A and B are shown apart, each in its own frame.
Chain A
């Protein structure tokens, strides 16, 4: 999967599965950027065919309803813009 990388403080592997058209996803990305942590994000709606299927399968592993944003920190998954939870997980 081709993630976009955002440079910052290393807090382990942080992956954000998002939709380019979703405002909650945008806010989650902005929150991570404002926290200055390094993370990878991917816009699943911009993928097609096998690439999309692969990303959806990965999201499903952590979040069976395959909703967005799905944030995977190490093996911990946070669904939706949950500011408090995200800050706690990355503190």
Chain B
């Protein structure tokens, strides 16, 4: 099927690849050492950016509704857990040190993201328990001068009036932060 956007040019792929590599190293992450593989994924990210307006994981089917897809915008909410457990994130753009050093071989890994219906159920459950927890947290929060915000991608915590525009560790936007305390 023809799509109504221009294919990402090689220079654009190179540019984003350099940028992501720099960001990854700065935050203690590693890109996959297989450059062809990485370039393929980055091209996919750029296609999804044109298609949906955000860089949804190239190996997952995005819905097109950003609020529904926040968790799969690259780097996704599942990256850290998958890199720890399997040596790579779901699409294998990011890998562990063991993979980088050639001590662990990659293969495709199971999907950690829950199906849509179960995600919704989990959200409802969290909302229900969150109300209870919220009361406890509120007591602690009262004693703090500012609230604490948590990056849902890398776990970075910061105490300030609102979340930062960009996570200083993994570079995701403020919409990926949740109120922690």
Bound Cα distance A80, B3 (Å): 26
Number of A-B contacts (CB under 8 A): 63
Q: How far is the CB of B40 from chain A (nearest CB, A)?
A: 5
Name the distance in Å between A46's Cβ and chain B's nearest Cβ: 4
Does A43 belong to the interface (CB within 8 Å)? yes
Interface size on B, residues (CB 8 A): 26
Tell me whether chain B's interface is mostly helix, strand or loop, or mixed: loop
Q: Given the interface contacts A24-B108, A43-B1, A47-B1, does A19 sit within 8 Å of B41 by beta carbon?
A: no
Return the contact of A23 from the options B92, B109, B110, B114 (Cβ within 8 A).
Answer: B92
Alpha-carbon distance A46/B48, docked complex (angstroms): 11
B156 at the interface (CB under 8 A from A): no
Assuming the A-B contacts A19-B61, A23-B59, are A80 and B43 also in contact, with contact meaning beta carbons closer than 8 angstroms in the complex? Answer: no
Whether the Cβ atoms of A21 and B115 lie closer than 8 Å is: no
**Residue A38 lies at the interface, judged by CB distance under 8 Å to chain B:** no
Q: Which interface residue of B51, B108, B111 has the most chain A CB atoms within 10 A?
A: B108
Binary B-proximity of A48-91 (CB < 8 A = 1, otherwise 0): 00000000100010001111100000000001111000000000
Apart from A19-B59, A43-B1, A60-B115, list 5 A-B contacts with CB within 8 A. Answer: A22-B58, A22-B91, A23-B59, A24-B92, A68-B59
Residues on A lying within 8 angstroms of B by beta carbon are: 19-26, 43-47, 56, 60, 64-68, 79-82
7 of the cross-chain contacts (CB-CB < 8 Å) are A21-B47, A23-B40, A23-B91, A47-B1, A65-B111, A66-B115, A80-B109
